[in-house]
Structure 1
Amino acid sequence: MVIFLLLWVLLLSLNGLIYCKKIKEIKEKRKAAGKTPASAAAAPAADKPSEAKVADKDKDKDKEGNKENPEKTGKTEKKDDEDKEREERRKRRQDKLEKLKKERECMVKEALEKGNLRPADDNETINECQSDWNGPVAKKKT
């Protein structure tokens, strides 16, 4: 078992050395050809520098053209739809809150007229949620 582990470690280290040697050879070939790894991956077909410059200019023109004439794509339409839905939800929430406030005010006014009020707690106001659970709240006299 020990011999197996020693052979395994030896083979792994040799394999790593061989792999590193291959990488060094590849880097040396690229340096000799005058290409960096980034440029080799970006423009494999454009061997001449003038062709690469022309291709870059074409790409720049395409980008500028897209900026000047923005067309709605599926993504922008989805964003617009989502924005509209958010606005609608926000308006609905605000309407519900306004209705609740009006109902609370009506409850308090009716209770004031009838005289059915409980005393307010120290930190409680008319518009707090406790008025829904415990009945209308009278303002605490100071």
Structure 2
Amino acid sequence: MLATEGKKMDEYSPKRHDIAQLKYLCENLFDDSMATLTDSHHGWVNDPTAESNLQLNDLIEHIASFTMNYKIKHVEDEALITQIDEYLDDTFMLFSNYSVNTQDLQRWQRSAKRLFNVFTEECAFLQQPSHSL
């Protein structure tokens, strides 16, 4: 998993760069999470002890650390920070179980969708000429 390599927040990086990195990491987490699930007739089977899930946990920890630095640097972004925290918690809880039912998976997917909507709003706001940071 290459998503965590070389991705540290620079205290002088512009906000749009920090958000782009967070978005990239969260998208990787979503894609990697979906790839760990194996479809079965009664739901999805998941192995929390598998190498791929251990890598997911590493990525979750990396994003949490990156988010902590973002919180310090951009305290005004409470909505984004809250949604990232919720998404990381939901991801960890979902993929720490051996089985995943459709309802839990859909709840996690909605959490991801809310996060990616916040990213879209943030990116649109930052691309306005008067808010280019």
TM range (shorter): under 0.3
TM-score normalized with structure 2 length: 0.25
Asked which structure has the greater CA Rg, the reply is 1
Q: Which has the higher contact order (CA 8 A, sep 6+)?
A: 2
Q: Which has the higher helix share?
A: 1
